[in-house]
Amino acid sequence: MTASGFPDINLETAWESVPDGLILVDEDGCVRWANSEVEALFGLAADDLIGCPVEDLVPADAVVAHRNLREAYSIDPARRPMGRDRHLEGRRADDSIFPVQISLAPLIENGTRWTLAAVRDVSDWVGTEQRLAESTRRHLLAEDHDRIARDLHDSVIQELFAIGMGLQATLSTIGDPDTAARVDRSIVAIDDVIRSIRGVIYDVSTRQSDKGVDMKDEIVRIVADLTPTLGFEPHLAFSGPIDSLGRSEVVPHIVAVVREGLTNVARHAQASSAEVSVEVTDRIRVTVSDDGVGLADVTRRSGLANMADRAGRLDGSLDITVGVTGGTVLQWTIPREAG
């Protein structure tokens, strides 16, 4: 121990043991001393730096800014970080760039001013910060997507559905065939728009969840959404290993068929009750039945062509028959292997 109580440690040993790069710079901005950690950071031997401008260690496009910072520091030297609120970078011998954190301290020895710079590579810290910022951005974007999806579903779709129902009710009162045909085409167009919007909502919901959209939850939501329009709550039944479908590619098709089937009941059937069942055995069968007016004009009803197309693409079938006590029974069936 020295007389002051400070451990009698060799200054050079202490200098080399510091985990940061230490650079001693004179009043002219030239390097006068550097520890071996500087070589690890910049790929330059400490001895090769002696006498070189400290700006040799910064990117070419930052030389002027660094010089200005250094000159400002010489006017008001103090122990502090360099370039507060600035993104600082160092330049290695191979011209690669990396983020750094620099702390400065003024030294005066025999009337000569020096600046001691402690340099630390913060690549890992910056990477973590960027990942956190990206995670925050994705979270905010997901919240925004969810809000847009809710707005589309709760307002736009419901308003379009009401317009379509109004046109459907008016259709039977139109005597002119040409006018009736135009109104009919408008109803079909509205149905297409509703399907497109619902498809967007489904896609957004699926992307925002690693688990994907739960089929049961989605079907329950569809039934709840259409209950006010139907005027009654459809009976819902699931049977077989439903959960085995998981995130199967057929799940969006099943959900769409339930939606289309119940929408047709709401628009055309004049029913007082309906039932939806999803059954998984060696095949996947979706059944939508009602006690309405039956099969009148069934070939024109919106959505049926889409359901038939979905079944055909999956080597399945769409069958529409009269129920035992009247009404309509829609059965959409595909092979289990399709899931």
Structure confidence by residue, pLDDT tens digits, 125-151: 877 777 777 777 777 776 776 777 777
How much is the pLDDT for 141?
Answer: 72
Query: Is the per-residue pLDDT at 210 higher than 50?
Result: no
Instruction: Please answer whether residues 136 and 109 qualify as being in contact, where contact means their C-beta atoms are separated by less than 8 angstroms.
Output: no
Q: Which residues, including other chains, have CB under 8 Å from residue 1's CB and lie 6 or more apart? A: 7, 8
Q: What is the pLDDT, as a whole number, of residue 332?
A: 95
Instruction: Give whichever of 132-146, 200-214, 252-266, 287-301 has the largest mean pLDDT.
Output: 252-266
Q: Of 317, 237, 301, 316, which Cα lies nearest the Cα of 274? A: 237
Q: Is 60 exceeded by the pLDDT of residue 5?
A: no
d(CA 313, CA 233): 31
pLDDT tens digits along 175-191: 888 888 888 888 888 87
Residue 6: pLDDT over 60:
no
| pLDDT of 329 strictly over 90 | yes
Residue 203 confidence (pLDDT): 64
- CA dihedral of residues 126, 131, 135, 137 (deg, nearest 10): 60
**pLDDT band at residue 299, thresholds of 50, 70 and 90?**
very low
- Name the pLDDT band for 1 (thresholds 50, 70, 90): very low
Mean pLDDT score, 73-84: 81
Using pLDDT thresholds of 50, 70 and 90, give the confidence band for residue 154: low
Please name the residues in contact with 218: beta carbons below 8 A apart, sequence gap of 6 or more: 202, 255
Which residue, among 89, 100, 91, has the nearest Cα to 43 in the 3D structure?
91
Quick one: tokens of 24?
Answer: 């001693």
Average pLDDT, the chain: 81
Rounded percentage of the chain residues whose pLDDT exceeds 90: 10
Question: Token pair of 21, please?
Answer: 């790069």
Distances from the Cα of 204 to the Cαs of 79, 207, 332, in angstroms?
Answer: 52, 5, 26
Indicate the range of 134-148, 155-169, 275-289, 314-328 predicted with least confidence: 134-148
Higher-confidence residue: 317 or 49?
317
Quick check: 229 and 264 in contact, CB under 8 A?
Answer: no
Strands 235-239 and 274-280: parallel
Q: pLDDT at position 13, please?
A: 72
Alpha-carbon distances, residue 51 vs 22, 31, 35, 48 (angstroms): 15, 5, 14, 8
Q: Are 82 and 117 in contact (CB under 8 A)?
A: yes
Sign for the pseudo-dihedral over CA of 245, 247, 249, 254:
positive
Burial class (CB in 10 A: 0-12, 13-18, 19+), 5: exposed
- Residue 2's pLDDT is 47
Q: Is the pTM of this model over 0.75?
A: no
Angle formed at CA 317 by CA 314 and CA 323, multiple of 5 degrees: 145
